[in-house]
Chain A
Amino acid sequence: MLHQFRTAQGEIEVTVAKQGDVWHLGEHQATVEPDGRLLLTMASGLKSYATAAKVGDVWWVHFEGHTFCLERIEPGASQSGDEGGLVAPMPGKVLDVLVEIGQSVEAGQTLMVLEAMKMEHRILASNPGQITAIHFTADEQVQQGSVLLEMVDDES
């Protein structure tokens, strides 16, 4: 079966097939254990258990001391584009907005200050550009992923 996953590095297609009780991926093999874990036998001879759990569309996998988040891309799903919005990295509260609409900013300039878990986090401009929209004011709560401000990068 073909599956597509989105990882931190990019998108990956994985095709696995089953023969008897054993799943194959190239030279690697896997069996599903009664407790839901997977016993993997890798091509190198490494034999170890993996634990997996699905939360939403994401498969979380623990294998050999490493933890992976693998977002399953539903077949036919369209890609979400990056539209230059600056999003909240976590839920929290806006402490300060340091720019205005139309203002030109330099790369690295602090645009907004957020507070979450009692720590301050600065939202910085990654490129020089111009602020086109500001969606929150001080003291407002923001959700993770909320678009805080929008800007257009200067033409280089």
Chain B
Amino acid sequence: MVSKVLVANRGEIACRILRACREAGLQSVAIYAENDSKSLFVELANQAVLLEGDSITTTYLNQEQILEIAASTGCDAVHPGFGFLSERADFARAVTQAGIQWIGPSPSAIERMGDKMTARKTMRDAGVPVIPGEEIEEEDEQEALTAIQHASTRVGYPLLLKASSGGGGKGMRAVERPEDLLNAAQSARREALAAFGDGRVYLERMLTGSKHVEIQILADRHGRTIHLGERECSVQRRHQKVFEEAPCATMSEELRTAMGKAAVAAAMAVNYEGAGTVEFLLAPNGEFFFLEMNTRIQVEHPVTELVTGVDIVREQLRIAAGEPMSCGELHLRGHAIEVRLYAEDASNNFLPAIGPLAVFQPPEGPGIRLDTGVRQGDEVTPNYDPMLAKLIVWAPSRIEALQRMRRALDEFVVLGTITNLRFLRELCDVPEVIEGATDTTMIDRLWPDGWSPSIPVEIEDGALMAAAVSESSGLHRQSNSSTESNEYSGPVSPFMTLNRRYP
């Protein structure tokens, strides 16, 4: 039985889960750090409890405190969302030992898939193809660096350094030339240590021209392990996904069956339960290799929901309660695309941005879904991940889905904080994206010296006029004193001009 769920997360994914709980008629408890007290997710829970502490470690990563809250509020289940403690086997174990249902796979499944080295071995044993690479077991800095150097000669260049217990691109470095290895290895180890408390890395051959294709799986306690088809997430910047779609544009029914079978085998190899994702690299020749398994709900799960009609979070709740999953035979329908709205400056190396969301007006209309944890008036701070929202569209065909995404992005208004909206909009016009010929290096290849928007002069003139008219009309003061009128009338001046002075 599950009747009251503690959501051990924040932001957008906490909102997604809390809403699912409400729909399922379950009570919910949100936990929040002081700097989140005004956040949307806190409002969406039946009950919200303040986490004591002033850092992520002492709040959202504080297992003891979270367990205490779960017990004191009478929760019988914990949903970890993604990130934070979602892939921490020790936390899953502590939750289970406290007699509380962990909404996710068993601690041992998390362990075996969470440690990338063990996962590779498990997959090799289960007959799932893995990318050529080597694990570095050494923990001591000097020994590890020596081992990395030796392994690099066997793996070959270009290669990727990845954090063993990593994810989200943190602790990951692409190394093109042997002379860059040492620096990259030190920096990857340092970043991995800071982000995951584990500096171990592994080396992997970089397969150029490949697509990132992942299979969503669901497994219940009634002997059913199924896959829900694939998502393609090749379009990445700094190894973080920005544009995801289902199905993959170049997928054949035959390949889908083969990859689905491998994913189900991967899940069954660790007695998987709940929702999970098996990530593969799909080479241009149709060969695919196991990348990693994410033992949690994934950021891009909505595209699968839209093309399969399955509510994955509701299925997670059902499966955790010991019920069989509710979905029957699956048929993929239409096409779904998700883009991630980040507070970042796409024209300045995707540097994170902060500021107020003075205006936040998402698009509306048919086929549009917005998953977000923010609303107008919120402040974007440097405390957490810069992802503001996921904009997801569905349409009968891929072409129509792209058309709908362009329209939706054009309507989306975010003022006060720099976002990647325009970058996402221009992505929709890239020939590779239109043709579905995307691969994981596309962004770096298309914009080797960085991206910058192309702005028609007329649009810029319009914006300048809007700013000048707004300033002249005192629009920024209108909220306080709407009666004030400092307008003046007069003849049309011959000096109503633009005067650009570019250096």
- CB-CB under 8 A from B487, the residues of chain A are 18
A107 at the interface (CB under 8 A from B): no
- CB-CB under 8 A from A117, the residues of chain B are 352, 382, 384-386
Which chain B residue lies CB-closest to A37?
B466
B100-108, B109-117, B407-415: which lies at the A interface?
B407-415
Q: How far is the CA of A28 from the CA of B194 in the complex (A)?
A: 54
A136 at the interface (CB under 8 A from B): no
Query: B348 contacts A89, CB within 8 Å?
Result: yes
Q: Which of B252-275 contact A (CB under 8 A)?
A: none
Over the window 465-503 of chain B, the binary record of Cβ atoms lying under 8 Å from chain A Cβ atoms (1 yes, 0 no) is 111111111011010000000011111110111111111
Q: How far is the CA of A36 from the CA of B455 in the complex (A)?
A: 24
- CB-CB under 8 A from A95, the residues of chain B are 190, 194
B197 at the interface (CB under 8 A from A): no
Q: Which of A29-77 contact B (CB under 8 A)?
A: 30, 32, 36, 38, 40, 42-44, 46, 48, 50-55, 59-70, 72
Q: Which of A7-28 contact B (CB under 8 A)?
A: 8-20, 23-26, 28
Most chain B CB inside 10 Å of its own CB: which residue of A1, A13, A46, A67: A67
What is the interface residue range for chain B against chain A?
35 or more
- CB-CB under 8 A from A80, the residues of chain B are none
B330 at the interface (CB under 8 A from A): no
B422 at the interface (CB under 8 A from A): yes
Chain B residues in contact with chain A, CB under 8 A? 169-170, 187, 190-191, 194-195, 238, 347-348, 351-356, 358-359, 361, 382, 384-386, 409-411, 413-416, 418-419, 421-422, 425, 453, 455, 458-473, 475-476, 478, 487-493, 495-503
Most chain B CB inside 10 Å of its own CB: which residue of A2, A9, A16, A24: A16
When the two chains form the complex, which single residue of A3, A62, A65 contacts B359, counting CB atoms closer than 8 Å?
Answer: A62
Q: How far is the CA of A84 from the CA of B454 in the complex (A)?
A: 30
Query: B461 contacts A28, CB within 8 Å?
Result: yes
Give B293 Cβ to nearest chain A Cβ, in Å.
Answer: 22
Which chain B residue lies CB-closest to A3?
B468
- CB-CB under 8 A from A120, the residues of chain B are 187, 190-191
Query: A90 contacts B422, CB within 8 Å?
Result: no
Most chain A CB inside 10 Å of its own CB: which residue of B409, B459, B466, B472: B466
Query: A17 contacts B493, CB within 8 Å?
Result: yes
Which chain B residue lies CB-closest to A44?
B458
Give B75 Cβ to nearest chain A Cβ, in Å.
Answer: 28
Query: B467 contacts A65, CB within 8 Å?
Result: no
Query: B462 contacts A50, CB within 8 Å?
Result: yes
- CB-CB under 8 A from B385, the residues of chain A are 117-118
- CB-CB under 8 A from A67, the residues of chain B are 413-415, 418-419, 421-422
23 contacts between A and B (CB under 8 A): A3-B467, A16-B465, A17-B496, A18-B490, A19-B490, A19-B491, A24-B492, A25-B497, A36-B478, A50-B462, A51-B359, A54-B470, A60-B358, A61-B466, A62-B359, A63-B459, A65-B409, A66-B463, A90-B351, A91-B354, A117-B386, A118-B385, A144-B354
Which chain B residue lies CB-closest to A17?
B493
Q: How far is the CA of A28 from the CA of B457 in the complex (A)?
A: 13
* A12-B464 CB under 8 A given contacts A42-B458, A64-B459, A121-B351: yes
When the two chains form the complex, which single residue of B194, B460, B468, B472 contacts A118, counting CB atoms closer than 8 Å?
Answer: B194
When the two chains form the complex, which single residue of B194, B414, B463, B476 contacts A50, counting CB atoms closer than 8 Å?
Answer: B463
- CB-CB under 8 A from A119, the residues of chain B are 169-170, 191, 238, 352
A150 at the interface (CB under 8 A from B): no
A147 at the interface (CB under 8 A from B): no
- CB-CB under 8 A from A64, the residues of chain B are 410, 459, 462
Give A80 Cβ to nearest chain B Cβ, in Å.
Answer: 15
* A42-B418 CB under 8 A given contacts A19-B490, A23-B472: no
Query: B497 contacts A19, CB within 8 Å?
Result: no
- CB-CB under 8 A from B419, the residues of chain A are 67
Query: A24 contacts B496, CB within 8 Å?
Result: yes
When the two chains form the complex, which single residue of A14, A15, A53 contacts B416, counting CB atoms closer than 8 Å?
Answer: A53
A133 at the interface (CB under 8 A from B): no
Give B190 Cβ to nearest chain A Cβ, in Å.
Answer: 7
Q: How far is the CA of A26 from the CA of B497 in the complex (A)?
A: 6
- CB-CB under 8 A from A17, the residues of chain B are 490-493, 496
- CB-CB under 8 A from B503, the residues of chain A are 10
Q: How far is the CA of A39 from the CA of B322 in the complex (A)?
A: 56
Query: B382 contacts A91, CB within 8 Å?
Result: yes
Most chain A CB inside 10 Å of its own CB: which residue of B467, B470, B497: B467
Query: B191 contacts A12, CB within 8 Å?
Result: no
Query: B409 contacts A116, CB within 8 Å?
Result: no
* Besides the known contacts A5-B467, A66-B460, A116-B352, 19 further A-B residue pairs in the complex with CB atoms under 8 A apart: A3-B467, A10-B503, A11-B501, A13-B499, A19-B489, A19-B491, A23-B469, A26-B498, A40-B462, A51-B361, A53-B416, A55-B356, A60-B359, A64-B462, A70-B467, A72-B467, A72-B471, A90-B382, A117-B385
Query: A60 contacts B415, CB within 8 Å?
Result: yes
Which chain A residue lies CB-closest to B351?
A89
Over the window 77-120 of chain A, the binary record of Cβ atoms lying under 8 Å from chain B Cβ atoms (1 yes, 0 no) is 00000000000011110010000000000000000010111111
- CB-CB under 8 A from B425, the residues of chain A are 65
Q: How far is the CA of A42 from the CA of B460 in the complex (A)?
A: 11
Query: A51 contacts B413, CB within 8 Å?
Result: yes
The 3 closest A-B pairs by CB, nearest first: A60-B415, A65-B410, A54-B476
Query: B466 contacts A116, CB within 8 Å?
Result: no
Give A51 Cβ to nearest chain B Cβ, in Å.
Answer: 5
* A38-B501 CB under 8 A given contacts A15-B495, A60-B415: no
- CB-CB under 8 A from B348, the residues of chain A are 89
